Amino acid sequence: MAEVHIIGQIISASNFPEKSLFCKWGISAGSAWRLLSGPSEGQTQVDNPSFGEKAYFCHPFDLHFATKGIQGWPKFYFQVWHHDWLGRNELFGYGFCHVPSTAGSHELEVVTWRPCGSFSEQFKSQLVGGAAHLCNLDLVFNQQNRYMLQTESMGKLHLICNVITRNFDKFGVQM
């Protein structure tokens, strides 16, 4: 089987309306892919920077996949959360990116967005906290029904992703 190693880290988050952020992440791949080692999801620590606009996580990931074909290439999905002074967590954004299909080191920038909700939901979130969020995380990286959502842009996540491929040439796939 062909193999892909994905090694890197979630470096930081920038341009969000508040500080004190953390990130939940996961990876999704097609049915021909099998995760051999590494966690399929994780969470960073909360960073509340006293200086600057970036929240630094430097959260590592190390994943090893085996595959029978390139269809369903892995993709990361993210949720960025704000942890307020009352201990509440508020969703600040969703984002996703495909793992680069070329071997080497890649710097990735993931734009994030969040659902707006109705006017009354927005008003309620200003008063008591909390924001509209998705019931099904597949909408983050599945384009099928995402076009129906009303969203607003949020900040960006910054990643470094090193991709190592092995044995693709034995299966007739040129990378």
Q: Report the 10 Å Cβ neighbour count for 12.
A: 23
Q: Map out the domains of the chain as residue ranges.
A: 2-111+154-171
Closest CA to 141 of 16, 27, 14, 11: 27
DSSP structure string for 28-86: E--TTEEEEES-SEEE---B--SSSSPEEEEEEEEEEEEESSSTT--EEEEEEEEE-TT
pTM (2 d.p.): 0.84
**pLDDT confidence of 61, banded at 50, 70, 90?**
very high
Q: What is the rounded distance in angstroms from the CA atom of residue 87 to the CA atom of residue 65? A: 37
**pLDDT confidence of 130, banded at 50, 70, 90?**
low
Q: What is the pLDDT of residues 76-122, one digit of tens each?
A: 999 999 998 888 888 899 999 999 999 999 999 999 988 876 677 66
2-111+154-171: CATH topology: Immunoglobulin-like (2.60.40)
